């Protein structure tokens, strides 16, 4: 039953995501328009959620203890990342998110820091410079 409930929630979320993607506006010259990529992502998300609804696990087990804590912390980090992207700027917010997510999967602080130092500028160059997506560079504080 829990798989079907999760499937229904994800189906509703993917439909909402696909519908609201039409309101997205960006100032770059994509021939398909800025809404194409989110809409393309909404389709497999909806299909996978239908899979949860139609073929649920017969004996689902729920996470407990440390694993559940890491899952909740991961969701919290991703929500905080989305909320802090504009105020902190893309490089700082991405550095913090990669650092914390790397720690959540069990890496050392040194490796998590190295990953964050590499990923933040690399992703900024990829999305802002190469793909032309407008990203906030510096904090707006």
**SS3 state at 123:** helix
Q: What is the mean pLDDT of the chain?
A: 87
Structure tokens at 98: 């990669």
The confidence score (pLDDT) of residue 77 equals: 97
Sign of CA dihedral 90, 116, 42, 73: negative
The confidence score (pLDDT) of residue 127 equals: 84
d(CA 90, CA 75): 19
d(CA 135, CA 42): 22
In the chain, where the domains are located: 2-54, 65-130
* pLDDT tens, position by position, 101-115: 999 999 999 999 999
Q: Are 3 and 57 in contact (CB under 8 A)?
A: yes
């Amino acid at each position: 039953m829990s798989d079907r409930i999760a499937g229904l929630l994800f189906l509703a979320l993917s439909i909402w995501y696909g519908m609201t993607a039409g309101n997205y506006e960006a100032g770059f010259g994509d021939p398909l328009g800025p809404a194409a990529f989110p809409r393309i992502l909404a389709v497999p998300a909806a299909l996978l959620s239908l899979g949860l609804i139609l073929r649920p696990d017969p004996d689902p087990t729920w996470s407990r203890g440390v694993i559940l804590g890491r899952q909740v912390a991961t969701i919290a980090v991703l929500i905080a990342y989305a909320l802090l992207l504009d105020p902190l700027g893309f490089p700082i917010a991405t550095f913090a998110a990669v650092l914390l997510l790397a720690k959540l999967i069990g890496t050392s602080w040194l490796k998590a820091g190295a990953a964050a130092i590499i990923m933040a500028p690399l992703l900024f160059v990829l999305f802002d410079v190469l793909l032309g997506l407008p990203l906030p560079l510096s904090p707006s504080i």
